[in-house]
Structure 1
Amino acid sequence: MATKRTYDDGCAAAHALDLVGERWALLVVRELLLGPKRFTDLRAGLPQASPNVLAERLRGLEAAGIVRRRRLPPPAASRIYELTDWGEELEPVIIRLGRWGARSPSKPDDAPLGVDSLVLSFRTMFDPGAAEGLEAGYELRMGEDRFRAEVSGSSFEIERGSAERPDATIEADSDTLAGLIYNGCPLAEALRSGDVKIEGDEAAVERFLTLFPLPEPAVLV
């Protein structure tokens, strides 16, 4: 068995990197921020991570008290992974790291964005000023995934699950929705092509697409 590497440094930040600094570890945490997942679900969200590496990262995170395993009762009877309360405290770290990374001039804009990554990016980029005066509920449908979102002035909440009587429903794959929000792709064109389907208040949909402006790129000197 490989010896776990450590910075052997008394700094708390260095110790944090001992816990979540291995490749894929923090992305495993990202994948669990919206709720528990089976190993196969984690593999789907992190397709570039080999099964062996993913299993190793899960074991390390479990040993550190960041992730725990739980077996669902019958008829599901499957094993899931979820964040501990302490593990969930990493959400603001990931949010801030994501916002910092979004300012990188070298960020690859054409790389695919998974469903959970896109949803978490909404939490990261939400601009309360852009939502001023908006009171609306939404359901986002991306493949088999459903998310309910509530916007109330400066407040934004989004979580996994279907919405009850939303003002608008948006159905698209994650790359298409990301293109509408972050790349300025026209909604009308996406509707004509069938890449996006909406139900309910179209004006509320158009407003939703403006709530997540990207920060200005960092100036490198």
Structure 2
Amino acid sequence: MGKRNYSQYCPLAYAMDVVGERWTLLIIRELMFGPRRFTDLQRGLPGIGTNLLSLRLKELEQRKLLRQRVLPPPAAATVYELDQLGYELAPAIRELSIWGMRYLCLPIPKQHHIGKVQSMFALMNSFLPADSDATLTIEFFDPYDAFYATISNRELLLQHGAAPQQPDAVVKTEWRSIVSIAGHQPDVYTALEQGLLNVTEGEADAVKRFFQQFTLPVAMEP
């Protein structure tokens, strides 16, 4: 049986034919900040089965939205990364995620998964620089993964992996803590006191200044 489509001469219908299957947009979300291994995608999408993930990746590769690449030694791992067509979806995905913010609330339900990319999205969607002179790089990590965030010229850069140059601070944390702190529940001062943010290198003041540039627009549960 061939893949179903809407059979409508409409650009939105055609777009949905390409990316409207379940999990497809979330796979693209996982790749927006750089290449990921298959196991990285599994960890970021814990509800998807191995066979279905393989199928969706194959479909996206056939549609020229992503490609596979083998990293040079010593890594020598196969990664998936967005192709040009995939990256062109990034603005639409960001706008859709901002639209979806109205359905989120704090505190985060305990049963809901928060992975690294969700925490990066929370920072991306809540960036509201209060300090025009802020120039900071903060590296965040948990036992499995890391990313870094750089603020410069009132712009935010988010990227997988360790910071290529010495950051202002290195912070061990849980990804859901980043989302909560971006929403000031708790604020960064309380988070540091409670150990939700553990500064392993650099200065805590840099972390405080960093989170002062974010306001996550979500509702609070009554």
- Larger relative CO (CA 8 A, sep 6+): 1 or 2? 2
**C-alpha distance after superposition, 1:70-113 (max 9, x if no partner):** 33456544432211112111111111111110023679932231
Provide the residue aligned with 1:206 in structure 2.
Answer: 208
Provide the residue aligned with 1:13 in structure 2.
Answer: 12
Q: Which amino acid aligns with 2:134?
A: L
- In structure 2, what is the Cα distance between the partners aligned to 1:135 and 1:75? 33
Farther-moved stretch of structure 1 (150-159 vs 66-75): 66-75
Provide the residue aligned with 1:172 in structure 2.
Answer: 173
Provide the residue aligned with 1:112 in structure 2.
Answer: 113
Provide the residue aligned with 1:70 in structure 2.
Answer: 69
- Residues 80-159 of structure 1: pairs in structure 2 closer than 5 A: 80-104=79-103, 109-110=108-109, 111-128=112-129, 130-159=130-159
- In structure 2, what is the Cα distance between the partners aligned to 1:187 and 1:6? 47
TM-score (norm 1): 0.85
- Classify 1:78/1:154 alpha carbon distance in 2 versus 1 (closer, same or farther; 3 Å): closer
For the aligned residue pairs, the C-alpha RMSD in angstroms reads 2.4
SS at match of 2:151: strand
**C-alpha distance after superposition, 1:4-63 (max 9, x if no partner):** 110111111111111111000000111111222222221111010111211111111111
* Gap runs ≥5 in structure 2: none
How many residue pairs are counted as aligned between the two chains? 215
- In structure 2, what is the Cα distance between the partners aligned to 1:106 and 1:3? 40
- Classify 1:159/1:107 alpha carbon distance in 2 versus 1 (closer, same or farther; 3 Å): same
Farther-moved stretch of structure 1 (191-200 vs 90-99): 191-200
Identity %: 37
| Residues 140 and 146, structure 1, Cα contact 8 Å, conserved in 2 | yes
- In structure 2, what is the Cα distance between the partners aligned to 1:137 and 1:87? 27
- Classify 1:206/1:108 alpha carbon distance in 2 versus 1 (closer, same or farther; 3 Å): closer
Q: Which amino acid aligns with 1:127?
A: L
Farther-moved stretch of structure 1 (192-201 vs 153-162): 192-201
- In structure 2, what is the Cα distance between the partners aligned to 1:159 and 1:35? 7
Farther-moved stretch of structure 1 (58-67 vs 178-187): 178-187
- Classify 1:77/1:159 alpha carbon distance in 2 versus 1 (closer, same or farther; 3 Å): closer
* Gap runs ≥5 in structure 1: none
SS at match of 1:103: helix
- Classify 1:166/1:125 alpha carbon distance in 2 versus 1 (closer, same or farther; 3 Å): same
**C-alpha distance after superposition, 1:111-157 (max 9, x if no partner):** 231101211332222114x2423122222223332323221242111
- In structure 2, what is the Cα distance between the partners aligned to 1:65 and 1:134? 38
- Classify 1:156/1:105 alpha carbon distance in 2 versus 1 (closer, same or farther; 3 Å): closer
SS at match of 1:112: coil
